[in-house]
Amino acid sequence: MTKCIASGVLAVAAGLLCSPALSSDVAPPAPARADAASAGGDDRQSAGQAVMNKLSGGAGQPVLNALRQDFPFLADAIVGYSLGEVWGRGRLDDRTRQLAAVAAFAAQGNLTVLKVHAGYALRLGVSPDELKEIVYLTTVTAGFPRAIDAANALREVFAANGVRP
């Protein structure tokens, strides 16, 4: 049984901080890999592209496409790791994952990415009222200024998608 301690910001961000010193069954870190290909990079890229197609309805993602021109290594990391490895896990359904992402980006004040994921959420069947509830929750987790910013960003998403809030 793993023994965990709650500690500061890490505990807030990750839930609990587990210390190998407190546990005998924590696996050692995996050895570093030389490159993405040796880490199953091609498989991760394919999986990531499949996730992107599912989220966007095959329309792609303009921000990611623009990154590919000048920062291809960053675009590859986003597709391979963020989408292919993390986002592609099956433990959460797509709606729940989008609601969590919108909540996180609202709390961070990352409005550009919030708009992208709010659009995906709407496309996946999340209702405007559910997104508005996330904004209301943001008042507790990040304060009224962040919630107001998120509300204004959602207004833009609703308008761009022809959705009545």
Domain segments of the chain: what residues?
A: 39-91, 93-165
**What tens digit of pLDDT does each residue of 14-58 get?**
333 333 343 344 444 443 333 333 346 689 999 999 999 999 888
> pLDDT of 94-152, one tens digit each?
999 999 999 999 999 999 999 999 999 999 999 999 999 999 999 999 999 999 999 99
The answer, as to whether pTM is greater than 0.75, is no
CATH superfamily for 93-165 is AhpD-like (1.20.1290.10)
CB 51 within 8 A of CB 45: no
Q: What is the DSSP letter of 13?
A: H
